[in-house]
Every structure is written in structure tokens, then in C-alpha cells.
């Protein structure tokens, strides 16, 4: 069995910033409501001609240069996204062509906002088995293409972006992945989903105006389940490797709502200074929130090698999970 180490990170957020005041011109909302209920102040929105893979390209290139390797060195690319370029082929193969990583096996994972945590576990397992030396793991979303821009319940919450991490295969004794737990509960499918556009109900000329073509969410119910499951995941993931909350140096939670993040922090019992928050700048970028946050924290210089770092996420499905790393 090999070990894994994150040797580089990167991110990209589209240039176009949409403020809460900009949104208040389109739907009945206000900067005060959005900040008070979510903590979000602005979000980055991709240009019409930017697909999710285009957001991945600079994030991948930043991560590769941070890692000191080239695209040609990559053996594996996994992209976690719920907003792929096309139903198929998968976004990772489109990214492969754009960055020229022609040796890499490529596929995508859809686990909604938990996508990066799932992708990290899958990539780590493959790398630890010894067949892959360098893996690129990306969380990327163009959620602006999925959102109903006339629904104030959802359109104020989401943003576009991509975050990337390069994983290297290392000796078992240098392994940094201490634990990873993944979970799902498919009984709440309709609390957070896009009803139309898949094989169950294909998009047709008849349902063109149906709100089901866009992402829909029962926010209050999702909120409660997110807090409970994220907090429990952190506790369980730590307990399984005999760590306590006091051992955590940094918690990077999925960035959906600052109130969810604080409630999770309170339930876990962690000091707020150890909880990384950037939802105010990006909104909820689903699978991209954790790798974007990881890159910001790593580049700030505050995240040191050897520190205990925990990711935790919750999203549509429902899916949730936590990762414990000795960074
Ligand atoms: O990424 C993983 C999945 N997503 C999440 O984790 C998000 C989970 N949910 C949330 O973050 C919160 O539930 C929301 C931010 C979506 C909503 O906050 P809330 O405190 O749960 O508000 P609410 O849905 O209970 O709505 C309160 C009121 C309602 O009006 P009434 O019924 O009280 O008259 C809404 O119609 O706020 C109204 N409202 C708005 N008002 C102004 C809803 N959206 C807006 C808006 N601007 N954008």
C-alpha cells in the first residue's frame, strides 16, 4: 500500500463579479437579506463562452505549477461536478485535451456539493493501490447554467469556479490521508435536485418554461440535515483515528451558508479562528468550494505541513463526508 500527499493546489474564479445589489435589480431581494441569511456578498459568474472545463484549465495549471510537475506527468484526472460541459463525454476528458495531459485516465464524479470529498477518496484509493503516481483532483462548477435566475430562493446562493489539488503517490510511512468517510441518503432526492433534463424526464419543447429545468431546493430542510450530518461526520472521522477536535488545526467546511458553517463549528466545538470561511466572496460553488478554500488557505501561508486539516461537505443526493489529513 502506498500513501498520498497533496503537493499542489490551484483555483480559478471567473472575472465577472455579481454583487447582491446587482441581483436585487433582477429579483425581489436585498443585500441585507442575502448577507444576514447566508453571509454571501458576491459571486463570480462565468462568461457565456466559458464551460466548466474552461474554469478547470487555469485551476489545473496553477495546481500543476505549484506541484512542480507538468500535465504530461499526470496519470489520472478526476473532475467532480454537477454542471458538466455536456451529458457526455465526461468533463475530465475535455480538460485532458485542453491541458494536454495525454497519459492520464480521466473521468468525472457527480456527488453534488460533496463531489470533491468523494473525488479525493476515489483518487486517493487509486493512488494508494500503487498504479498511479500523480493524480489531479478538481471540483468545478458553472452553476450559473443550472440556476433559475428568476427564483430568489436559489439564484442568490450560487456561483461559478474551480479548485484543484495534485496528489502524489508517496511511501506508506509518509502517508498524509488519515481518514475519509463518505455517506449518502437517497430518500431525500427531491429536496435538492434538477428534475428535468436527465433520462427520467428529458428536456423537450413542452417543458421549456417548467421551473423543474433548473436547480430547486427546499432550503430550510436542507439546512438542518446539512448541519447535523456535517457535524457528525467530523466527529466520526476524528474518532475513528483517535483524534479529538482539539487536534484540528484547520476545518474547511463546504461553503454554502455562513450560518451552516457556524452551526457546524458550534456542534463540533471548534474555535471559529480554525474554521476557514470564504463564502462571502464566491457564494456556493458546490463541488468547487473546498478546493478553492484549500488553495486560498495554502497560499495564505497559514496552512503548514504537518497540520491536521479536515474537509467536510454535504450536498444533493443527499451525499456527505469528511476527510482528515495530516497536511
Ligand atoms: O450546498 C449544499 C446545499 N445547500 C445548502 O446547504 C443551503 C441550505 N439552506 C440555506 O442556506 C437556507 O435555508 C437559505 C439561505 C436557502 C434560506 O434561508 P432561511 O433562513 O432558511 O430562509 P427561509 O427559506 O425560511 O425563508 C425566509 C423568508 C421567506 O419568506 P416568508 O415565507 O418568511 O415570508 C422567503 O420567501 O425569506 C424569503 N426569501 C427571501 N427574501 C429575500 C427567500 N429567499 C429570499 C431572498 N431575498 N433571496
- Per residue in 143-196, pLDDT (tens digit) is 999 999 999 999 999 999 999 999 999 999 999 999 999 999 999 999 999 999
- What's the CA-to-centroid distance between 209 and ligand 1, angstroms? 23
Q: Which of 308, 166, 136 is nearest to 237 (CA)?
A: 308
* Nearest alpha carbon, ligand 1 atom 35: 153
Q: Catalytic pick from 20, 62, 155, 254?
A: 254
Q: Tell me, what's the pLDDT at 98?
A: 98
40 lines ligand 1 (CB under 6 A): no
Q: Tell me, what's the pLDDT at 233?
A: 98
- What's the CA-to-centroid distance between 283 and ligand 1, angstroms? 14
Average of per-residue pLDDT across 101-113: 98
Is 254 in the active site? yes
Q: Grid coordinates standing for 265?
A: 463549528
152 lines ligand 1 (CB under 6 A): yes
| Distance between CA atoms of residues 175 and 154, nearest Å | 40
Q: Tell me, what's the pLDDT at 222?
A: 98
- Per residue in 63-99, pLDDT (tens digit) is 999 999 999 999 999 999 999 999 999 999 999 999 9
Q: Tell me, what's the pLDDT at 276?
A: 98
Average of per-residue pLDDT across 126-142: 98
230 lines ligand 1 (CB under 6 A): no
Q: Is the pTM of this model over 0.95?
A: yes
| Distance between CA atoms of residues 198 and 204, nearest Å | 11
288 lines ligand 1 (CB under 6 A): no
- 24 band by pLDDT with thresholds 50, 70 and 90: very high
113: helix, strand or coil: helix
Compute the mean pLDDT over every residue in the chain, rounded to the nearest whole number.
Answer: 98
- Per residue in 249-284, pLDDT (tens digit) is 999 999 999 999 999 999 999 999 999 999 999 999
* Nearest alpha carbon, ligand 1 atom 2: 315
Average of per-residue pLDDT across 18-39: 98
* Nearest alpha carbon, ligand 1 atom 41: 29
- 313 band by pLDDT with thresholds 50, 70 and 90: very high
- 109 band by pLDDT with thresholds 50, 70 and 90: very high
Is 113 in the active site? yes
| Distance between CA atoms of residues 70 and 50, nearest Å | 23
Average of per-residue pLDDT across 131-149: 98
Q: Which residues contact 111 (CB under 8 A, 6 or more apart)?
A: 80, 117, 118, 119, 287, 315, 317, 319
29 lines ligand 1 (CB under 6 A): yes
> What does each C-alpha distance from 199 to 147, 170, 189, 204 come to in angstroms?
19, 41, 15, 12
CA torsion, ordered 155, 118, 265, 276, to nearest 10 deg: -70
Amino acid at each position: 500500500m502506498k500513501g498520498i500527499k497533496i503537493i499542489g493546489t490551484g483555483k480559478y474564479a471567473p472575472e465577472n463579479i455579481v454583487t447582491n445589489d446587482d441581483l436585487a435589480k433582477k429579483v425581489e431581494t436585498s443585500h441585507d437579506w442575502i448577507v444576514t441569511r447566508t453571509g454571501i456578498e458576491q459571486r463570480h459568474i462565468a462568461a457565456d463562452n466559458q464551460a466548466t472545463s474552461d474554469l478547470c484549465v487555469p485551476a489545473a495549471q496553477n495546481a500543476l505549477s505549484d506541484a512542480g510537475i507538468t500535465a504530461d506527468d499526470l496519470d489520472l484526472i478526476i473532475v467532480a461536478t454537477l454542471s458538466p460541459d455536456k451529458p457526455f463525454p465526461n468533463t475530465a476528458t475535455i480538460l485532458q485535451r485542453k491541458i494536454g495531459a495525454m497519459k492520464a485516465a480521466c473521468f468525472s464524479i457527480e456527488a453534488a456539493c460533496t463531489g470533491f470529498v468523494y473525488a479525493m477518496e476515489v483518487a486517493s484509493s487509486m493512488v494508494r493501490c500503487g498504479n498511479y503516481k500523480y493524480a489531479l483532483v478538481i471540483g468545478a462548477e458553472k452553476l450559473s447554467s443550472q440556476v433559475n435566475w428568476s427564483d430568489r430562493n436559489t439564484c442568490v446562493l450560487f456561483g461559478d469556479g474551480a479548485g484543484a489539488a495534485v496528489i502524489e503517490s508517496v511511501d506508506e510511512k509518509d502517508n498524509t490521508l488519515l481518514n475519509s468517510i463518505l455517506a449518502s441518503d437517497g430518500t431525500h432526492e427531491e429536496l435538492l435536485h434538477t428534475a428535468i433534463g436527465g433520462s427520467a424526464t428529458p428536456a423537450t419543447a413542452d417543458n421549456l418554461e417548467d421551473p423543474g429545468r433548473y436547480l430547486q431546493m427546499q432550503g430550510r430542510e436542507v439546512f438542518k440535515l446539512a448541519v447535523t450530518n456535517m457535524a457528525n461526520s467530523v466527529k466520526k472521522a476524528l474518532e475513528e483515528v483517535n483524534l479529538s477536535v482539539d487536534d484540528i488545526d484547520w476545518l474547511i467546511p463546504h461553503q454554502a451558508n455562513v450560518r451552516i458553517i457556524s452551526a457546524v463549528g458550534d456542534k463540533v466545538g471548534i474555535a471559529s479562528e480554525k474554521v476557514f470561511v470564504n463564502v462571502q466572496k464566491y457564494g456556493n460553488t458546490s463541488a468547487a468550494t473546498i478546493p478553492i478554500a484549500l488553495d486560498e488557505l495554502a497560499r495564505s501561508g497559514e496552512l503548514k505541513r504537518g497540520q491536521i486539516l479536515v474537509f467536510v461537505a454535504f450536498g444533493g443526493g443527499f451525499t456527505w463526508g469528511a476527510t482528515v489529513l495530516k497536511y
